[in-house]
């Protein structure tokens, strides 16, 4: 079974940092795009950052460029999201997902498409002003 286990969320103040972790099992990390998606209250899930573990390509949503850093550790089969300079608008449930879709398409189309698509449970990030 494929499992993605997200962790690392919490309640923080604006300007602080968090590191989210996504532990992946049941698939070879280098064969997939792994992404972090945020769902704010009352809003749809949106991609914030994705990485192609095999070649290191990354995607960042415009709203997080310069503040979020995604990186994969193939030895640990894990993907991390370093979030710096947190803002209240970063608040939401952060989900990690995996897909064999092309990186940029996957990150901008969380509804998925033809092919493999896996999701983990979310981790809550709450940023107070």
Q: What count of other Cβ atoms lies within 10 Å of the Cβ of residue 110?
A: 20
User: Which of the four pLDDT bands, split at 50, 70 and 90, describes residue 71?
Assistant: very high
| CA distances from residue 116 to 27, 77, 97, 98, 99 in whole angstroms, order as listed | 11, 18, 11, 8, 5
CB 32 within 8 A of CB 98: yes
> How large a percentage of the chain has pLDDT more than 90?
91
> 127 Cβ partners below 8 Å, 6+ apart?
12, 13, 14, 16, 86, 87, 88, 89, 90, 91
pLDDT digits (tens, 9 = 90+) for 25-62: 999 999 999 999 999 999 999 999 999 988 999 999 99
């Amino acid at each position: 079974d494929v499992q993605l286990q997200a962790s690392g969320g919490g309640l923080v103040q604006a300007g602080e940092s968090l590191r989210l972790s996504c532990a992946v099992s049941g698939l070879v990390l280098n064969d997939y795009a792994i992404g972090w998606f945020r769902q704010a209250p009352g809003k749809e899930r949106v991609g914030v950052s994705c990485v192609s573990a095999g070649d290191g390509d990354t995607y960042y949503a415009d709203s997080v460029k310069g503040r979020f850093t995604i990186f994969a550790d193939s030895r640990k089969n894990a993907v991390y999201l370093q979030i710096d300079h947190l803002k209240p608008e970063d608040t939401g449930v952060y989900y990690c997902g995996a897909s064999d879709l092309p990186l940029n398409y996957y990150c901008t189309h969380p509804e998925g498409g033809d092919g493999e698509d896996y999701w983990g449970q979310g981790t809550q990030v709450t940023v107070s002003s």
